[in-house]
Structure 1
């Protein structure tokens, strides 16, 4: 588009789309569907998970230790303990996705059958990789994954079926196929934009989802048991996080309109890609990289605090004043996902070159609340969120940054599906909040020659 010719199309963009903030306060609008104290506006009930981070006492929000439960089961129990030091080192993601989809933990026989179904579904339709993934590959993997989900609609002759049988079959097929789509897209992207090789490893039947990802991703297909275990933990932590997070709510909104499963899940991926949602992990890693470059002594808390003050005062990084990886909409004293992630990171980093960087991240977690108190006079309880350590864990495993959010999507597919099922059965009404127009009076219409 000729920008000179199109200038008038966008030169008043902010003016036309801006709304006086007093309009929100005057009408008591909950911007972002958030109450004044930061809590979410209650929009529904769910049996799928409980995200707990605070108590309400006499109308006030009181910080509390965070907890995350899937179908009533504490995440620490599901993962084998908060320290991860149990002797049973089996992979958990398949059990957790089964729990989310079907409501209870599987027996060994049920788990074996579920894993067999996942194996059966991993293959993509004939020609799909060449025509849908390798052709016109855009620079962002999330867009290809979203597009691929939409296009799989065309290969399903029952795509508009809303029956429980078809809904569960569709969800399981996507849980199975998305990791393969993700890895193939990564190599297609590398080939198109970075002069890399297009590697197309076959999946190995019988491997867990985490093993499958690493086996298809590594050029030599090698990985350690600890790496697979850590990736399994990360996917388990990302599998579900309540009905109010943006991508899950997106799934619910589209499902309430009675659209097909593929459209709902594709839209959820578009939401997760956002920099204020799943894509925030890129902001965290970029900020951490800047701190590493500008703090000479990572083990000196005074130097780290000084640079955090620059960030908070909008003198460093992206000048927003935000310390990415710190704070959460629900969690106050602790984010259980970050707790688990950090403890497993400590196990992986011990005795390696990553140990110093991990200590730096722990310093950022420790010092940021005090910096916020002194620089902003903030009394808000603040803890590290899962993004503080997730990118670091992936980097230790050699997983490219381009895959951080796609891995999140592969895991969260289970949670999205569970919420879609619940909305189909229990929602029964299209989600349709109200918006108030700021035009109180009718504007006079003028013929074109009088304007």
Structure 2
């Protein structure tokens, strides 16, 4: 009997699959296909409308794309003003941000208190869930574990398929509260069963918020500093939403438009975010930094660092892809507002952690990459650090295991996903169904006895 791991058979089938799924690049131009849903000038194809988030990285002068400083708006409010607002009041901001994104307006003090109370009521997982879903079936990849765990919550929901707004809102609040618990417990199970570490299952605490609960649940001693909590809270706020066109949020729109349940829609979004071209990019930055640390003896020597970055761009070292991860963005041109906010907080945390030398490494990578691009491509080139350059560094300083980098992104972005799901169902009931053009010639069916002799050993 043939085995799926039979190398000869699998090699043969792989070659056939690759050969018969190749589409000539010229066809995309011939039929004016918007690959990646991008126009020829690099702008996104307009496929929907939203009031939730707005990402501004350029402005259009006719058909010309003109760079500008990046701006991010949540429900029309500049993210910088949101962050300055809660930080100047010495408050956490993620729960306030979640309220704003879900309901379209900033909460009063009483409304925020009621909302955080609802989240606290939902942070615990259903009875038996931790033991049966997380501890008995541990996973090496926490994003994959999160997908399975969200789907399992469907079975614990008394009304899972009802897509009335009230029911979706109830499910959304439960998920926003529970995802941090799921990823924290999922990591603890992974660390125990696969890495042979001690198992810590800490109950989420009421009244301390999402960021502090994550630190409480993933740390053996439950301890964290005020600045650590503020930094993680900021990271959650700036990752909570990024417009309707990013890959995972668009996936939420596509799947929600079919009328399916909330858990299926959120699972699709998690699967998208897991990809290295999307949420997994922060781990790409981490891997690149590790390589730089191993190969550049003196990180503070800007010339040595610049020489190595040039070798990365020339595909001579590291993974030979020619990419400096954490630099550049699909929309932002001159700056990523999220990176600017996180960079400022990262420096504060670096001072507390005695990690300024490490901070300067990231800062120099940012500055030297911009220099290199201008030297190689001209003074008019625009490239800036994106949020992933500093988020991984922040998580490293916080002692957060790299396996949780992208899951923490998911714990933040599920707010945006839920908001967009509600907006899709309320405002646009049409199923999303774009077109694909068939470019292969018509063929006739050949009976099996006339297809040639099967070659068997």
Q: TM over 0.5: same fold?
A: yes
Q: Tell me the residue number matched to 1:113.
A: 114
Q: RMSD in angstroms over aligned alpha carbons?
A: 1.4
TM-score, normalization: structure 2? 0.95
Q: Tell me the residue number matched to 1:321.
A: 322
Shift of 1:376: 5.2
What are the superposed Cα offsets for residues 25-48 of structure 1, whole Å, 9 maximum, x if unpaired? Answer: 111111111122221111111100
Whether the 8 Å contact between 2:139 and 2:186 is mirrored in structure 1 is: no
Q: Counterpart of 2:310 in 1: which secondary structure?
A: helix
Alpha-carbon distance between aligned partners in 1 of 2:119 and 2:152, rounded to the nearest angstrom:
20
Q: Tell me the residue number matched to 1:149.
A: 150
Alpha-carbon distance between aligned partners in 1 of 2:443 and 2:371, rounded to the nearest angstrom:
52
Query: Of residues 68, 73, 80 in structure 2, which corresponds to 1:64?
Result: 68
Whether the 8 Å contact between 1:137 and 1:189 is mirrored in structure 2 is: yes
Q: Tell me the residue number matched to 1:233.
A: 234
Alpha-carbon distance between aligned partners in 2 of 1:91 and 1:274, rounded to the nearest angstrom:
29
Q: Tell me the residue number matched to 2:33.
A: 29
Query: Of residues 13, 18, 31 in structure 2, which corresponds to 1:14?
Result: 18
Q: Counterpart of 2:20 in 1: which secondary structure?
A: helix
Alpha-carbon distance between aligned partners in 1 of 2:405 and 2:398, rounded to the nearest angstrom:
12
Shift of 1:423: 0.3
Shift of 1:338: 0.1
Asked if 1:343 corresponds to 2:344, the answer is yes
Shift of 1:11: 2.5
Q: Tell me the residue number matched to 2:454.
A: none
Query: Of residues 76, 79, 84 in structure 2, which corresponds to 1:75?
Result: 79
Q: Counterpart of 1:79 in 2: which secondary structure?
A: helix
Query: Do the aligned partners of residues 6 and 288 (structure 1) sit closer, same or farther apart at CA in structure 2, a change above 3 Å counting?
Result: closer
Whether the 8 Å contact between 1:284 and 1:325 is mirrored in structure 2 is: yes
Q: Tell me the residue number matched to 2:54.
A: 50
How many residues are paired up? 447
Gaps of 5+ in 2: 452-457
Tell which deviates more after alignment, 66-75 or 348-357: 348-357
Whether the 8 Å contact between 2:54 and 2:74 is mirrored in structure 1 is: yes
Alpha-carbon distance between aligned partners in 2 of 1:6 and 1:112, rounded to the nearest angstrom:
58
Q: Tell me the residue number matched to 1:164.
A: 165
Alpha-carbon distance between aligned partners in 2 of 1:378 and 1:390, rounded to the nearest angstrom:
28
Q: Counterpart of 1:287 in 2: which secondary structure?
A: helix
Shift of 1:266: 0.8
Alpha-carbon distance between aligned partners in 1 of 2:190 and 2:352, rounded to the nearest angstrom:
34
Q: Counterpart of 1:64 in 2: which secondary structure?
A: strand
Where does 1:125-136 land on structure 2 (aligned, <5 Å)?
Answer: 125-136=126-137
Whether the 8 Å contact between 2:124 and 2:203 is mirrored in structure 1 is: no
Shift of 1:268: 0.3
Q: Counterpart of 1:52 in 2: which secondary structure?
A: strand
Where does 1:239-254 land on structure 2 (aligned, <5 Å)?
Answer: 239-254=240-255
Q: Tell me the residue number matched to 1:442.
A: 442
Q: Tell me the residue number matched to 1:387.
A: 388
Where does 1:38-437 land on structure 2 (aligned, <5 Å)?
Answer: 38-80=42-84, 87-350=88-351, 352-375=353-376, 379-437=380-438
Q: Counterpart of 2:207 in 1: which secondary structure?
A: coil
What are the superposed Cα offsets for residues 20-75 of structure 1, whole Å, 9 maximum, x if unpaired? Answer: 11011111111111122221111111100110010111310111000001001111
Alpha-carbon distance between aligned partners in 1 of 2:20 and 2:373, rounded to the nearest angstrom:
35
Query: Do the aligned partners of residues 75 and 22 (structure 1) sit closer, same or farther apart at CA in structure 2, a change above 3 Å counting?
Result: same
